[in-house]
Structure 1
Amino acid sequence: MKRNHLLYFSLIIGISIIFGLSACSSKENNTPPWEWEDPEKPDPGTDDGSKPRFIWIDASANFPDFANNKDNIRRDLTLAKEAGFTHIIVDVRPPTGDALFSTTKVEQAQWLGAWVNGVFTKVARTATWDYLQAFIDIGHELGLKVFAGVNTMAGGHQTSLGGNGMLFRDASKKSWATQLLTSSGIRNAMDVGRDGTRFFNPANDEVQDFLLGLLEDLAAYSDLDGIILDRCRFDELDSDFSDESRNKFEAYLGKSVSFPDDVMRADIKTAYLPDNLPPYFKQWLEFRVKVIHDFMEKACSRVKAKNPDISFGAYVGGWYSQYYGVGVNWASPKYNTSADYPQWAGSNYQKYGFADLMDVMLIGAYAAPNAIYGTSEWTVQGFCSRAKNLIRGDALVAGGPDIGNYGWGGGGDFSDATIYGAVTNSVDAAINASDGYFLFDMIHLKMMPEKWKRVKTGIDNYLKTVKE
């Protein structure tokens, strides 16, 4: 994942990162002051020279434990520390789009939906203490680095409990919601009655200004070690078809088109592209990744201006071959996408890789328990090694599994022995193929506590090799 290494080499326990002059600038305009001498060597980010180990803490899933109880936060962060994790990423802007940190720009999260005793229910937050600050204080006491995770383009979420968040609360913000291309025409996401996250339109200038202000407020936490943008993307290939996106695309193209017919059809699905694509389909994909690239550049600049010492990064799914569907090119701009994926990537797609803007990239290497080792996508090791290659040393790369889904005990017909063995082996497969280890999510360790032991075994095995 990207990022120009800067003048200031800041150690955030697992992340050797350069901040300063060029971190937020495209490499087309700035030459980084240095390159890693050996991109395969572990980065000297932790006190003992080992690679960083990140664990994600989803807001909704963990809300029953953490919304109102600092003792539970301390209990579980202690478990994370004892298991060998060095960094936590605490989700402070869940898919509702509301906040779990100090800001006046959006409401604080009043409730989130979570499973409690087998029932999906509302979990209310009644505590008045600062949620993020509690994790920072306790995490630092334990010697952990604390990052804040942000569901960036999310503005609301609908479940069986109803709609929750800004887009459901404030009808005046409906124009911020993405416009979807459906079989019945273009429709605002708020008019599509389905469960799930309601995305903003990333090309909307008001949306971008709002989000940049939120990120500045987050960066104002002087003792926060890093910020990770999640869901900094379009909803899917059917998004966004607003007038604003059309106008900006035509300006990018330099001429008017028949919209949306010349760029997209409702029957086109990611990973199942037909031979007869619309005439400007590739240019439309280029435009979308440019929108995200340019927002990332603004976000990095605003965050670093507020707090030059903070680490800035993004979470992305490792399936790069399909990530064009959400309008994201997370590779280095040094990587020529069109050479490997000519069906959907034009010559300009490469320009909008944003890895050189990042300090750290977290890679979702979400493969099943029987697909830990390998060289291809859809293996943990393959996801990580391929991401390392795509990012070309522009940022620290830490990848790893979702140990609750994709067959990790939440969907596949696998024995406990296979699942537990996969948890341990995922550390070896990911950390030796990239610059670190990333696990999603803490709730899955808590649901099957034996997994705490199994991931600790994997980390202990890795640390033995570091000492040797």
Structure 2
Amino acid sequence: MKKVYFYFFWFIFSLSVFVSCSNDDPKIPDWDWGGGETDGDAKPRYIWIDAAANFSDYANSKENIERDLTLAKNTGFTDIVVDVRPTMGDVLFKSSAVQEVKKLDYWPESGGYAFYERTATWDYLQAFIDTGHKLGLKVHAAINTFVAGNSYLYGLGEQGLLFRDETKRDWATTVNIGSGVKNVMDVSEDKYSTKFLNPVNEDVQEYILSILGDLAKYDVDGIFLDRCRFDGMTSDFSEYTHKKFEEYIGEKVTNFPADVMEPDMSEYNALPSALPPYFKRWLEFRVKVIHDFIVKARQKVKGVNNNIQFGVYVGAWYSNYYGVGVNWASPKYNTSAYYPKWATAKYMEYGYADHLDFLLLGAYASADKITGSTEWTIEGFCKLAGEKLMGDVKYAGGPDVGNWTVPAGTDVKAAVKQTVGASINNGNGYFLFDIIHMKKYNYWSDVKAGIDLYLASLENSKK
């Protein structure tokens, strides 16, 4: 009889191993990250923790980390997203590829910008992992991707790889602006104070992938890429990218960049009636660059730990997002049918939603535009995202409750509460930026009221 039981259990075990091993496609996650549509479970609620904005609170204090994560847990958040690579490009975890952050700029109570120094030697990311998991929170790490330096125009100087290593100058993006085509390291305008890398450059890509490989060694539940994009319409116009573009289209572009784009062009301005001859192919080329990097980044992360959720943060304003070279939609979504002015028929092929496990959506409307059906309302942003993602990936949208426009007479605390339902009922979760604003304006009870209302409606739906 014991032999019968042994063979029975051995058969069940072997079958389970076969099933689990047969799903070796890294694009298909074999775990459940919530969502609620099919199993009735509550949808996840994410809160972002910006590196620079919160550095003076957390850099040297595990106690402050535990204090605020406890607040987040008690408010009803289920997931935290810890930014561990600020825009200056160094990191807040252990990596053989890049230096650790020693100081970041902040605004002390005495006024005026200053640097806050990190003197602690404990692992910043690991402290969030330990505390978050102890509290029952899922802990995700985020990196600012194609950046590697900050120029602090208010007198603090500069920081980052691009400033300390002259040999990496060619990694910096080249911008097409009114004063000419220039390496961004030679541009002092405030809008270019964060120094972007050139996403087309293969050495740059390998550098970022090496950072991701080190990050994936941590016991995080997920990794999100922020600023995995070009630095706006004016980027990148280097000779390196010029040649790569010619290789892509299979012909020479001798009048470059004039036949591609006029200087200082912005995606937020109406496109001219007559566009340069290669303009649309240029946009197509750029989204292919980012799409292909997303594929590589996913493979890098999954190659280290297949159980890590891989995703991105993007802005919800899809109608303008061509300006940063990103198509976050499903490749089934026919972009050119809706946006023929700027999208080629092939543009849709470089939608990358099917390479993600989860997507965080910045639905950053103003405080008086919570409900609606169009872009630049929180509800509209979230609804429209679903139409573009077409079921390829789960997503959570939500507000920036600190930097949004607040028209006179707006009940901000009521608006904060309403963002929960507007977002979570039109997607697969709720996403809020940033914990610093929650603390500064004491929005904890307002978000909790919104989450409690959602959970109560979920319970009622089960009755």
TM-score relative to the length of structure 1: 0.89
* Mapping 1:316-331, distance limit 5 Å: 316-331=314-329
For the pair shown, the structure with the greater C-alpha radius of gyration is: 2
Q: Which moved more, 1:225-234 or 1:104-113?
A: 104-113
Tell me, what secondary structure is at the counterpart of 2:411?
helix
Tell me, what secondary structure is at the counterpart of 1:262?
coil
Give yes or no for contact 1:158–1:194 (8 Å, CA) kept in 2.
no
Give yes or no for contact 2:199–2:289 (8 Å, CA) kept in 1.
yes
Q: Which residue of 1 aligns with 2:18?
A: none
* Mapping 1:30-429, distance limit 5 Å: 42=37, 44=39, 49-117=41-109, 118-159=111-152, 160=154, 161-195=156-190, 196-221=193-218, 223-257=219-253, 258-272=255-269, 273-407=271-405, 412-415=406-409, 418-429=411-422
Amino acid in the other structure paired with 1:263: V
Tell me, what secondary structure is at the counterpart of 1:190?
helix
Following superposition, the deviation at residue 171 of structure 1 comes to: 1.3
The C-alpha deviation readout for 1:309-346, integer Å capped at 9, x for no partner, is 00000000000000000000000000000000000000
Give, in whole Å, the separation in 1 of the partners of 2:29 and 2:404. 41
Give yes or no for contact 1:384–1:433 (8 Å, CA) kept in 2.
yes
Tell me, what secondary structure is at the counterpart of 2:372?
coil
The C-alpha deviation readout for 1:229-257, integer Å capped at 9, x for no partner, is 00000000000011111111001100001
Following superposition, the deviation at residue 22 of structure 1 comes to: 3.1
Give, in whole Å, the separation in 2 of the partners of 1:33 and 1:173. 36
Which structure carries more relative contact order (alpha carbon 8 Å, separation 6+)?
1
Aligned Cα root-mean-square deviation (Å): 1.8
Give percent identity, aligned residues only: 54
Structure that is richer in helix per residue:
2
Tell me, what secondary structure is at the counterpart of 2:268?
coil
Give, in whole Å, the separation in 1 of the partners of 2:265 and 2:61. 47
Unmatched segments (≥5 aa) in structure 2: 1-21
TM-score relative to the length of structure 2: 0.90
Following superposition, the deviation at residue 433 of structure 1 comes to: 0.4
Amino acid in the other structure paired with 2:141: A
Q: Which residue of 2 aligns with 1:29?
A: none
Q: Does 1:441 align with 2:444?
A: no
Q: Which residue of 2 aligns with 1:22?
A: 25
The C-alpha deviation readout for 1:80-104, integer Å capped at 9, x for no partner, is 0000000000000000000101101
Following superposition, the deviation at residue 33 of structure 1 comes to: 9.7
Tell me, what secondary structure is at the counterpart of 1:438?
strand
The C-alpha deviation readout for 1:74-127, integer Å capped at 9, x for no partner, is 000000000000000000000000010110111100111112214322111111
Amino acid in the other structure paired with 2:414: G
Give, in whole Å, the separation in 1 of the partners of 2:242 and 2:278. 12
Amino acid in the other structure paired with 2:105: G
Give, in whole Å, the separation in 2 of the partners of 1:43 and 1:294. 32
Following superposition, the deviation at residue 158 of structure 1 comes to: 1.7
Following superposition, the deviation at residue 467 of structure 1 comes to: 1.4
Over 3 Å counting, the alpha-carbon distance change for 1:132 and 1:20 in structure 2 is farther
Amino acid in the other structure paired with 1:194: E
Tell me, what secondary structure is at the counterpart of 2:48?
strand
Give, in whole Å, the separation in 1 of the partners of 2:23 and 2:94. 25
Tell me, what secondary structure is at the counterpart of 2:228?
coil
